[in-house]
Amino acid sequence: MANRLLKHFLPTAKISAERSKDILLVNPTVSGEREYAERSSLSAFSYSGTYVFSQSALTISEVDRFRDNDLINWINLGGINKKDVEHICELFNVHSLLVEDIFSVGQRPKVDEVDGVLFCQLNMLYYNEDECRVESEQISLALGKDYLLSIQEDDTRDVFDPLRLRLNIATTKLRQRQADYLLYSMLDLIVDNYFLVMEKLANRIEAMEDEVIHNSYNQSLLQINLLRKELIILRRNIIPVRDLIGGIIRSESSLIEERNLKYFKDINDHIIQAYELSENYRDMVTNIQDLYINNVNLKLNEIMKFIAVLTCLMAPATIIGGIFGMNFDIIPYAHKHYGFYLAIALMIAIPWGMLVMFKRRNWF
């Protein structure tokens, strides 16, 4: 019934209903239907402190040479093609349970260590300026002794361009450290991008607050509701990442050098800050909604006050007109030549006196 009614409302109502489905229709016991890419885009970096080699447009048959070459290797696969993912994971001994997680849809961000592979899965977040919504892209990271596999859903965008630039500079820590520092750098960029998305939402919150204060209108509540749903999407992705980073710090994995733990702790500080900001944003949106409701009630009270005053001012004229309009033969002043003028004078004088009294008492 509700869905049929929504069809007759504004397009924003339809958008709101569709966004609700993204939030509510999530069943962790049922695997979502993934749309596999027809092909994947492969790129790779091999590097050490003194050497770096990169190759884009890599074919699946060329991946083998980036294994066991005494260098740190980063293989990035964009677009999840089932055959390509299974081949690469088999080549680098990634457990089948982790491969199932890569293929899963709507997986909660998490960290696992299976058969010498530290596996992280989380979402990269983007802000769609055209649709004013938060978009997420699942990324899986598999850390081995001297390699890092990154498998992402979309091969057209990611947040790792600064990382690719740093890999070409020999003096950076990234070139001097092991693969776990590469993992830190990728997680750091993903978390830092959360703040860029939050900044966009903060601008929307600020604009919505000004709008509600100065010019509330009928769709304001709907826009507030849409904003709250975007914050839900944001918080759903941020909160588990805090557990993910904490799991890496507590893992005592041989793949994480002790000297690099402080960097993961720095990410942990950032994600806690992001979580606290998201809580503040939620409180601000709730306050804006309360402000909107208060403004609506205030306008309603003003209207009711005006109607009440108008009714009171019209009451004397109604009573006088009703008395002199009664169908009786004997009515005082009814047959006097000044009776009509007396009635009109009373109809004007009494409301005027009431108006002066209301004004003196500051009733309006």
Q: How many Å apart are CA 9 and CA 156, to the nearest integer?
A: 35
In the prediction, which pLDDT does 2 show?
Answer: 38
Q: How many Å apart are CA 65 and CA 285, to the nearest integer?
A: 52
Digit-coded pLDDT (tens) for 96-135: 999 988 988 878 899 999 988 999 999 999 999 888 888 9
Q: How many Å apart are CA 131 and CA 332, to the nearest integer?
A: 74
In the prediction, which pLDDT does 5 show?
Answer: 38
In this prediction, residues 265-287 reach a mean pLDDT of 93
Reported as a pLDDT band with limits 50, 70 and 90, residue 274 is very high
3 state SS of 297: helix
Per-chain mean pLDDT for the chain: 84
Rg for the chain, CA atoms, rounded: 34
In the prediction, which pLDDT does 9 show?
Answer: 40
**Facing residues of 113 across strands?**
118
Q: Which of 79-83, 146-150, 217-221 has the lowest mean pLDDT?
A: 217-221
**Facing residues of 36 across strands?**
none
Decide which of 271 and 104 is more confident: 271
In the prediction, which pLDDT does 191 show?
Answer: 95
Domains, the chain, in order of start with CATH, read 1-30 (no CATH), 31-295 (3.30.460.20), 300-360 (1.20.58)
In this prediction, residues 221-246 reach a mean pLDDT of 89
How much of the chain, in percent, has pLDDT values that exceed 90? 34
Q: Which of 31-45, 166-180, 328-342 has the lowest mean pLDDT?
A: 328-342
Is 54 buried (19+), middle (13-18) or exposed (0-12) by CB count in 10 A? middle
Residue type at position 136: S
In the prediction, which pLDDT does 18 show?
Answer: 66
Beta strands in 11-81 (DSSP E): 41-47, 52-58, 72-78
CA dihedral of 171, 173, 175, 178, whole degrees rounded to 10:
160
Reported as a pLDDT band with limits 50, 70 and 90, residue 1 is very low
In the prediction, which pLDDT does 23 show?
Answer: 63
Q: How many Å apart are CA 73 and CA 1, to the nearest integer?
A: 55
Whether 295 shows a pLDDT value over 70: the answer reads yes
β-pairing, 147-152 vs 41-47, is: unpaired
Digit-coded pLDDT (tens) for 40-95: 889 999 999 889 998 888 888 888 888 888 899 999 998 888 898 999 999 998 99
CA 209 from centroid of its chain's CA atoms:
17
In the prediction, which pLDDT does 13 show?
Answer: 55
Q: What separation, in Å, do the N-terminal and C-terminal C-alpha atoms of the chain show?
A: 44
In the prediction, which pLDDT does 126 show?
Answer: 92
Helices assigned H by DSSP within the chain: 2-6, 11-24, 82-91, 96-103, 161-167, 173-176, 179-215, 220-250, 261-324, 339-360
What Å distances lie between residue 286 and 198, 208, 224, 253, CA to CA? 17, 12, 9, 42
Q: How many Å apart are CA 181 and CA 195, to the nearest integer?
A: 21
Is 106 buried (19+), middle (13-18) or exposed (0-12) by CB count in 10 A? middle
Decide which of 347 and 144 is more confident: 144
What Å distances lie between residue 123 and 102, 150, 280, CA to CA? 12, 12, 22
In the prediction, which pLDDT does 6 show?
Answer: 36
Q: How many Å apart are CA 17 and CA 122, to the nearest integer?
A: 26
Q: How many Å apart are CA 288 and CA 282, to the nearest integer?
A: 10
